[in-house]
Chains A and B, each alone.
Chain A
Amino acid sequence: MNRLLLWFHQLGSPPNFHAFAGRWIPWCFGVAVPLIALGIYLGLAVVPPDYQQGDSYRILFVHVPSAWMSLFIYAAMTVNAFIALVWRIKLSEHLAMACAPIGAWFTAVTLATGSLWGKPMWGTWWTWDARLTSELVLLFLYLGVMGLYNAIDERRAAARAACFLALIGSVNIPIVHYSVEWWNTLHQGSTIRVFGKSSMDPSMLPPLLAMVIGTKAWFIGSLLARTRAAQLVAESGKEWVQRLNPVRAS
């Protein structure tokens, strides 16, 4: 445990993180791109059509990984936000703030692909069941964190406020989910199951697995890249940045 803490502590030093990220970003995308490409290929061309849903169920292979990422990234953002607020670690502030736009992208794609799956399946683009409503609120929370971070001029104060908001929001999501569920069970018949009666055929597992791991690797790569860039800007007055990016006298 102490080795891990020491490693994380050292990573907090911006030049160290810059080098660390620089090393690992290519690897992350080097893993992510083939896996995602494989997942797309298997999902579209190899796996047989579903017994009930035909070919439309192939949307699952982009919709489900995106949905899982939207929640996973929020959890990652919450953890980093907590660390940033409690221990005032600048790196965690940057990490938390970098999570938000990536999470927002995945949430938006989840909603869009879910809509595109819902239209042929249930005949409607949208429904107000617990899952969709909470996913929509999740998007609002991501956008709120980004909006608050951009609205305050002083960067560290902005990060602290946005991290605080992220923590509050993390409590809100399960509450919204539960309250909409209660509301819908009160009005019987308006709950809709995502998977329906067909359970996962084992042949569907490989593309899903490839996509799940691939999107995680993509997220880590994107997170490292965004954090690295943000740190460069934040530390632009420091010597190590000047050495890396000598600015020609204007």
Chain B
Amino acid sequence: MTDAPLGRAFAAVLLRDFRLVWRRRGDAAQPLLFALLVVTLFPLALGPEPQILAKIAPGVVWIAVLLAGLMSLDTLFRSDLEDGSLEQFLLAPQPLWVLVLGKVVVHWASTALPLLLATPLLAQMIYLPAELMPPLFVSLLLGSPLLSLLGAVVVALTVGMRRSGMLLALLALPLYLPVLIFGAGSVIAAAAGLPYAGAWLLLGAALVLALVLAPLAAAAALRIALS
């Protein structure tokens, strides 16, 4: 029997992971609830004045999405590690990066995509000016997959470690900083009437680069962590 070609393997991983996520589709609400709670923290801590909140609104939504993604990173490999499938992935004839990419795609779709669709809700809570909604949405559309891909590399490095939650966050956040700067920064630039398309082009370029390199890096990290 010949090995399945890359495309078939990729599709198989997508289907499998999607089925697994679907069985526990209630879990998809958790990152969303977390982001809502994070957004809630700001008016409670800083006071409910619309002027102040409107000024920081793009950053608040970005931070909420970033933190929600960070908290959900652990689930990327956790269940596969526990039932032994991850080892099978390492032994598969197909390159590991193909399988990792499939997992990251499903993970993003199940954790970040609901957040993106709920952006109007988050924006409303924090008095985001209506004209900033499109830039915010585009910046999140470009930035959240980038965060997922970068996070995948770090979580691959710490897979198998018990109680790795805080360490994972400490290692991932420095990598997240440029994405946050350009993502939230582009929306704030739009608010100030400054050019912001350049930031999006950079994010887009980084996303393309990450789509190619991050699965490779994550695959290498998995082999290192599970050796």
Direct contact of A and B (CB under 8 A): yes
* A180 in complex: contacting residue of B158, B181, B227, CB < 8 Å: B181
Q: By the criterion CB–CB under 8 Å, are A176 and B157 in contact?
A: no
Interface-lining segment among B49-57, B115-123, B172-180 = B172-180
B221 CB to nearest A CB, Å: 6
B105 within 8 Å of A by Cβ? no
B189 CB to nearest A CB, Å: 6
B74 CB to nearest A CB, Å: 15
Please, which residues of chain A bring their CB within 8 A of the CB of B185?
179, 182-183, 186
Q: By the criterion CB–CB under 8 Å, are B175 and A179 in contact?
A: no
Interface size of A by CB at 8 A reads 25
Contact code string B157-174 (vs A, CB < 8 Å = 1, else 0)? 110010010010011011
Q: By the criterion CB–CB under 8 Å, are A144 and B171 in contact?
A: yes
* A164 in complex: contacting residue of B157, B161, B174, CB < 8 Å: B157
A63 within 8 Å of B by Cβ? no
Q: Report Cα–Cα, A143/B199, bound state, in Å.
A: 29
Q: By the criterion CB–CB under 8 Å, are A164 and B170 in contact?
A: no
Q: Report Cα–Cα, A186/B199, bound state, in Å.
A: 11
Q: Which B residues between 168 and 227 are near A, CB-CB below 8 angstroms?
A: 170-171, 173-175, 177-178, 181-182, 185, 189, 192, 194, 199, 217, 220-221, 224-225, 227
Q: By the criterion CB–CB under 8 Å, are A161 and B217 in contact?
A: no
Q: Report Cα–Cα, A172/B157, bound state, in Å.
A: 16
B153 within 8 Å of A by Cβ? yes
A165 within 8 Å of B by Cβ? yes
Q: By the criterion CB–CB under 8 Å, are A186 and B194 in contact?
A: yes
A177 to chain B: closest residue by CB: B178
Q: Report Cα–Cα, A182/B189, bound state, in Å.
A: 11
* B224 in complex: contacting residue of A157, A179, A183, CB < 8 Å: A157
Q: By the criterion CB–CB under 8 Å, are B224 and A172 in contact?
A: no
Please, which residues of chain A bring their CB within 8 A of the CB of B164?
151
Q: By the criterion CB–CB under 8 Å, are B174 and A152 in contact?
A: no
Please, which residues of chain A bring their CB within 8 A of the CB of B171?
144, 147-148, 165
Sample 17 A-B pairs with CB under 8 A, ordered by A number.
Answer: A140-B173, A141-B174, A144-B171, A144-B174, A147-B170, A148-B167, A157-B225, A160-B224, A161-B224, A172-B175, A176-B174, A176-B178, A179-B177, A179-B182, A180-B181, A182-B199, A186-B194
Please, which residues of chain B bring their CB within 8 A of the CB of A140?
170, 173-174
Q: By the criterion CB–CB under 8 Å, are B174 and A183 in contact?
A: no
Contact code string A159-195 (vs B, CB < 8 Å = 1, else 0)? 0110011001100100110111011001000000000
* B174 in complex: contacting residue of A151, A160, A172, A182, CB < 8 Å: A172
Q: Report Cα–Cα, A157/B158, bound state, in Å.
A: 11
Interface size of B by CB at 8 A reads 26
Q: By the criterion CB–CB under 8 Å, are A168 and B217 in contact?
A: yes
**Assuming A151-B167, A161-B221, what are 8 further A-B pairs, CB within 8 angstroms?**
A141-B174, A151-B161, A164-B221, A168-B175, A179-B182, A183-B181, A186-B185, A186-B192
Please, which residues of chain B bring their CB within 8 A of the CB of A144?
170-171, 174
Q: Report Cα–Cα, A10/B224, bound state, in Å.
A: 26
B179 CB to nearest A CB, Å: 9
Please, which residues of chain A bring their CB within 8 A of the CB of B181?
176, 179-180, 182-183
Please, which residues of chain B bring their CB within 8 A of the CB of A165?
157, 171
A137 within 8 Å of B by Cβ? yes
Please, which residues of chain B bring their CB within 8 A of the CB of A179?
177-178, 181-182, 185
Q: Report Cα–Cα, A176/B180, bound state, in Å.
A: 10
A169 to chain B: closest residue by CB: B174
Q: Which A residues between 117 and 169 are near B, CB-CB below 8 angstroms?
A: 137, 140-141, 143-144, 147-148, 151-152, 157, 160-161, 164-165, 168-169
Q: By the criterion CB–CB under 8 Å, are A176 and B227 in contact?
A: no
B105 CB to nearest A CB, Å: 21
Please, which residues of chain A bring their CB within 8 A of the CB of B157?
148, 161, 164-165
Residue with the greatest number of chain A CB neighbours at <10 A, chosen from B171, B189, B199, B221: B171
Q: By the criterion CB–CB under 8 Å, are A164 and B178 in contact?
A: no
Q: Report Cα–Cα, A152/B163, bound state, in Å.
A: 11
A170 CB to nearest B CB, Å: 12
